[in-house]
Amino acid sequence: MLDQLTLNIALTLVSATLLVLSFFSVYLRDRTRYSTWWIGLLITAAASNAVTVAITDANLDFTVPLSNASGALSAACAWGATRALHNRPTPLWGTTVGPALACAATLVELPSAGYWAGTAPTMVVMSAYFAGAALGLRRLRREHAATGGRYSTSNALTAISVLDVAVAALSGFYALRAVLYVTHGPTSEVFDTFAGVSANALALLVVLVVVTFTMSELSQVERMVELQDRATRDSLTGLYNRREFERRATARLERRRGGATIIVADLDHFKRLNDSHGHAVGDIALTAFADAMRRALGPRDIAGRLGGEEFGIVLGTGDTAAALARVDAVRHACTLHRMPDGGPLPTASYGLAVMTPGEGLDDALLRADAAMYRAKNGGRDRVEVDATATPSTLA
């Protein structure tokens, strides 16, 4: 069996080779955010192993923290890459808090643990990042299925599935390393056999190879997702545009089990706001209202901008009280925003229609829209429930 030093040197060389291949064959051609993140993973993985090779008793104080922080950062890059596939930005704090925690834990443990300082915390951080990456890939697969495969080709779906399995397995492996380190210690035969240097090198090699050979296909997925977002989302608010809202709502209603509620919301006195403060301020109000909806609605609710200052929501419940509670959550979230002059957001009027058996989306939208206009005529800043399905009304 190869010794620890030889394995780390081999892993560093392989990482560097894959980095060069990926950089010239994929990154320079595509320059996508996804490929950028995976290039970052290869760089930080190679750096972590190179620093590990250079560790001696004389330089433990800076090489061990640097090695652990670099390893954690490589896992953070995997998480950032999957967010890129969803066309989502990755917050700076999200990629730095893990490496910072790994480095801090290493510094605390250095006097007593030496070479193994910070091992368990670093493994936990890496496991969490890889788990986040795996969840992101599975979400992408679900979206691929929900859209009838519009996001990618069958080859891309295969690449997503393979990378999902590899990243999930790596998350589990680092969780196992942390558990065995704590329960058995780094010098035990159990740790060395199932989570030692040889096992770690093999796991990383497999994932790095998978990453390299799926990078090109998944870079194209990112481009397709970006194009899909442009075609289906409102450019100002980021919510679904009317066409995509209706398509997704119809698909959801066709396969729903149980009731559903349609809500139409319209900002009050929006024309007056535009005329008196300008369209830029009106855009701020629309964006803030959309953000309030995202904060208040559940992950299975569907929200979209129907046009102008009018918004639509589909809730997966036919319970009027639950739907009204969701509207109240949106109204409360609106109070957390402020306009540029420090004042509150414009209020909104809401129309709510509980769907009846066999009813289509268009009819339910018409009922919710009529209820919304009754709320306008009733004084605005209120919720009106359509009386067709339920007689409830809330001022």
**How far is residue 132's CA from residue 123's CA, in Å, rounded to a whole number?**
14
> Is the Cβ–Cβ distance between 221 and 154 less than 8 Å?
no
Are 286 and 208 part of one and the same domain? Answer: no
Higher per-residue pLDDT: 42 or 325 = 325
In a domain, 236, yes or no: no
Are 247 and 226 part of one and the same domain? Answer: no
Q: Check pLDDT > 90 for residue 148.
A: no
How far lies 40's CA from each of 53, 280, 354, in Å?
20, 38, 49
Are 175 and 207 part of one and the same domain? Answer: yes
Report the CATH number that the domain containing residue 47 is assigned in CATH: 1.20.1070.10
Higher per-residue pLDDT: 211 or 240 = 240
Under the banding of pLDDT at 50, 70 and 90, the label for residue 116 is very high
> Could you report the per-residue pLDDT of 249-259, keeping only the tens digit for each?
998 888 776 78
pLDDT average, residue stretch 63-80 = 94
What are residue 274's phi and psi, to 5 degrees? -60, -45
In a domain, 237, yes or no: no
Domain count within the chain: 2
In a domain, 355, yes or no: yes
Are 219 and 250 part of one and the same domain? Answer: no
Total length of the chain = 395
Question: 348-354 and 383-385 as β-strands: parallel, antiparallel, unpaired?
Answer: parallel
pLDDT of residue 85: 82
Query: E strands within 308-347?
Result: 310-315
pLDDT of residue 390: 45
In a domain, 143, yes or no: yes
> Could you report the per-residue pLDDT of 338-359, keeping only the tens digit for each?
998 888 999 999 999 998 888 8
Q: Check pLDDT > 70 for residue 145.
A: no
pLDDT average, residue stretch 259-272 = 93
SS3 268: coil
pLDDT average, residue stretch 91-110 = 95
Range of the domain at 252: 242-385
Are 205 and 283 part of one and the same domain? Answer: no
Are 202 and 275 part of one and the same domain? Answer: no
- Cβ atoms within 10 A of the Cβ of 331, count? 19
Under the banding of pLDDT at 50, 70 and 90, the label for residue 227 is confident
**How far is residue 82's CA from residue 164's CA, in Å, rounded to a whole number?**
10
In a domain, 341, yes or no: yes
Are 125 and 74 part of one and the same domain? Answer: yes
pLDDT average, residue stretch 58-77 = 94
Are 135 and 283 part of one and the same domain? Answer: no
Are 142 and 197 part of one and the same domain? Answer: yes
In a domain, 394, yes or no: no
pLDDT of residue 280: 93
214 closest CA partner among 168, 250, 144, 160: 160
Report the CATH number that the domain containing residue 259 is assigned in CATH: 3.30.70.270
Indicate the residue among 172, 205, 231 that finishes a domain.
Answer: 231
Q: Check pLDDT > 50 for residue 391.
A: no
Are 219 and 253 part of one and the same domain? Answer: no
The strand pairing partners of 265, in sequence order, are: 311, 350
- Cβ atoms within 10 A of the Cβ of 215, count? 26
> Could you report the per-residue pLDDT of 359-384, keeping only the tens digit for each?
889 999 999 999 999 999 999 999 99
Beta-carbon contacts of 209 under 8 Å, excluding residues fewer than 6 positions away, are 18
Are 222 and 301 part of one and the same domain? Answer: no
Are 220 and 276 part of one and the same domain? Answer: no
Indicate the residue among 181, 208, 231 that finishes a domain.
Answer: 231
Q: Check pLDDT > 50 for residue 104.
A: yes
> Could you report the per-residue pLDDT of 311-336, keeping only the tens digit for each?
999 998 889 999 999 999 999 999 99
Helix (H) or strand (E) holding 349: strand 348-354
Indicate the residue among 231, 260, 293 that finishes a domain.
Answer: 231
The residue written with tokens 């704090």 in the block is 93
Most confident option among 15-24, 72-81, 138-147, 214-223? 72-81
- Cβ atoms within 10 A of the Cβ of 85, count? 28
DSSP annotation of 348 reads E
pLDDT of residue 37: 87
In a domain, 354, yes or no: yes
In a domain, 126, yes or no: yes
Tell me, what amino acid is at 170?
Answer: L
